[in-house]
Chains A and B, each alone.
Chain A
């Protein structure tokens, strides 16, 4: 090791001992960067568990009869619940915690202790869900979830209640922090776009998550106290579940993806070496997506038999939401136009994010069209569409964010070669996997089935091949991040590791 590097190494360790050097400081820290790292660690732990259960699903679908139908149902449910509630939501809370105070020039979040509480509700929630082992799909449609035997469903409901509470606490903290703690000079007209997306997401969480709490409580009552909100034989209506559940879960789709768009809106200009194009149209489209997101939930219910007059306004709203989404894509591409692009790992993930987002947008317009949805609903077409959003967009934005902010967070550099390997494996895998699913959907393969007609076999093999590539990529990612965190080369300038000042840009406000 060069003498220069040894000096830098010593400087890093001398600065202050990291919070994870003792159990006591892990448990009692209230500092926003520490909480942010805790959230991200938690999230990626469940990313690997959720990923493992998706491999069980893929294995079951390529080797007929090797996984029992019960285990198959458990695996795809656990995959959905883990990825949505235990990976993406905590990951965005983690990035938000680490970045929002820095981006608005605040010392910490407004309520540091509540912030710690928000995180510490999550480990028991994860434990409850994994003890419960739900097997009715992450959407938990009544009355199947009402009749589901045993304690598993109840434990899962309690776990989701904890996650909901944590979400609401975190959301209120973000709203107050952003409204009250902006440094002089940081305003709604110039705060970084990442903060705008976290701000919008926080409003969605604060307004929609209580509805999730209500519907979960009703389910708990139906299961344990003999009420009949969702039971037709007691005068209830199974459709009530879907209306209330999607009233939360459709805004939740934007909770899952908006902060990722925020990260891309930060990383893309830095890596293109010029300012973001159309700051205000990205900020306005973010708020507009958040607002419209509350009026589209019935598009999950096109074929449940609700009346034509109820479906038509929802179809127009769903189509309308494609416009602000398209505005963002235009602005990201325009940001790169004429820039000096630096094709580092985070930049590559941003580019793939944009491509995936276009894929999901196009398939989304197909699904929004109700007559076409009579054929496509509940087939692999939908599975492909939602994975282009949740993996192609959200997870890839999270990867981009981890690589981009890694030097800021740890003072060290990740391994660029391994980062590139991760990118190549992930993108090769994801476009193989989800495009195969698109074809399976067009062929008419229904989702959530442990067995299928022989004609679907070829594309299922292709899909499993893609999933394996993603899994290998994820292992490379895990190794790269852990080893670089432990002993990666220290960066020369921790305040500006990407040399933004050379191009007249800056990461944090003055």
Chain B
């Protein structure tokens, strides 16, 4: 085995260790993202999210509806997301997450906004010609 071949084997073993290590480290985080609790805490309230071509409606616990999602800062909000027609995807860049909403299924996700302000909620799955315009505000009230 010459030097280059030794180097090649070292690269293979090194890359395998690195990649498998990255995968193992992702598992606990992944389980946390998809958990029904937010780092061990129960959600404070539920908001129903209805998506359609091309817009969003948010229904709160008291039956009140709005076109923008309004939450309190630090609240753990349970989103119950449904689609009326095709696949949409709920994406808030600052929260670092998106979730596909498949018609016929209810997608549950917990969010917690820690900084007051206004953020964009953007559809991230192509859902027809006006997909690009399908966005609204997430308002985090202090």
Contacts and interface: CB of A to CB of B under 8 A. Distances in A.
Interface of A: 69-70, 72-73, 135-137, 141, 143-144, 147, 232-233, 237-239, 277-278, 281, 303-305, 308, 311-312, 315-316, 319-320, 322-323, 326-327, 330-331, 334, 337, 365, 368-372, 374-375, 377-379, 443-444, 446-453
6 contacts: A144-B87, A305-B102, A312-B30, A320-B16, A371-B30, A446-B91
Contacts of A331: 8
B33 A141 contact: no
A319 B19 contact: yes
B104 A374 contact: no
A444 B12 contact: no
A497 to B, nearest CB: 30
Contact of B126 (A281, A326, A448): A448
B5 A278 contact: yes
B124 A323 contact: no
Interface in B11-32: 11-12, 15-16, 19-20, 22-23, 26-27, 29-31
On chain B, which size bracket covers the interface? 35 or more
B116 interface: no
A326 B131 contact: no
Nearest to A304: B100
A323 B102 CA distance: 34
Interface string B61-95: 00000000000000000000000011101010100
B86 A143 contact: yes
Contacts of A135: 129
A70 B128 CA distance: 8
Contacts of A443: 93
Nearest to A137: B126
B132 A144 contact: no
Contact of B133 (A141, A281, A334, A451): A451
B87 A141 contact: yes
Nearest to B24: A316
A147 B85 contact: yes
B12, B103, B126 — which one has the most chain A CB atoms within 10 A of its CB?
B126
A314 to B, nearest CB: 10
A239 B102 contact: yes
B39 interface: no
A369 B131 contact: no
A356 B12 CA distance: 20
B15 A326 contact: yes
Given A365-B19, A446-B122, A334 B127 contact: no
Given A238-B87, A371-B29, A450-B132, A327 B12 contact: yes
A137, A303, A337 — which one has the most chain B CB atoms within 10 A of its CB?
A303
A326 B11 contact: yes
B124 A69 contact: no
B86 A147 contact: yes
Contacts of B100: 303-305
B13 to A, nearest CB: 9
A79 to B, nearest CB: 14
A413 B17 CA distance: 47
